[in-house]
Amino acid sequence: MSLKACLFDMDGVIVDTAHYHFKAWKRLAAELGIELDENFNEQLKGISRVDSLERILDKGKLILDGQTKLKLMEKKNHWYLEFIENMTPGEILPGALDLLQWLKENSILTGLGSSSRNAKIILEKTGLNIWFDVVVDGSMITFSKPDPEVFIKGAAMFGIPSSEIVVFEDALAGVQAAKAGGFMVVGIGEPNVLGDADLVISSLGQLRPQELFRLIEER
């Protein structure tokens, strides 16, 4: 086996959009009389809009009908789109462009595997769209992380088995999804949160790309 491709989550891995999600969810929760803090926000990373809303409603012990939930999600997304409207390449996280360029130079395919339905918009605004051979976003999947569907679809689009692909994730749900799909995983964040990953680093800028070959070779 050899390293053939890499799949990246988006928020918190290659671009800094997680705070926009939190700002929008916090505003929505406040309207519902629910207080959100940064610790609770960790539960919302890497999961779908539907699952995020359900966790917030559970926190507030609220039971709402489907139509009301749909309107709340639309409101949250409207605010989120307003927040990201002025995104620039300056919000690409440290090390991301260098790694993407290195992968291209070494003929390793790159893909995005994100639960966000706005992934393509963000890639365009930051100029990152030119770097990805494959994009799987929230509009293309039925099940959100920790279900491995988003990464399995990415592997299928590559035409490469999961055993030869490394996934990059910053959320526990994402790490669990990748492991469930048979991928090796690099966690971006804290070891106490992402300990199930095969390698944990603080940012892509801390990665020595050659380590990716070792992950595949030693599996």
Contacts of 45 (CB under 8 A, 6+ apart): 11, 12, 18, 170, 171, 172, 173, 174
Does the active-site annotation cover 58?
A: no
How is the beta sheet containing 199-201 ordered, strand by strand? 134-136, 109-113, 5-8, 165-169, 184-188, 199-201
Is the CB of residue 76 less than 8 Å from the CB of residue 24? yes
CA 171 – CA 163 distance, rounded (Å): 21
Is 137 tagged catalytic? no
Catalytic residue among 9, 147, 170, 198: 9
| SS3 at position 123 | helix
Backbone φ and ψ for 213, nearest 5 degrees, come out as -65, -40
Q: CA quadruple 190, 195, 201, 203: dihedral positive or negative? A: negative
Distances (CA, A) of 175 to 15, 166, 193: 18, 11, 10
Helix (H, G, I), strand (E, B) or coil at 4: coil
Residue with tokens 């939190």: 22
| Annotated active-site residue in 11, 137, 170, 198 | 11
DSSP 48: -
**Catalytic (active-site) positions:** 9, 11
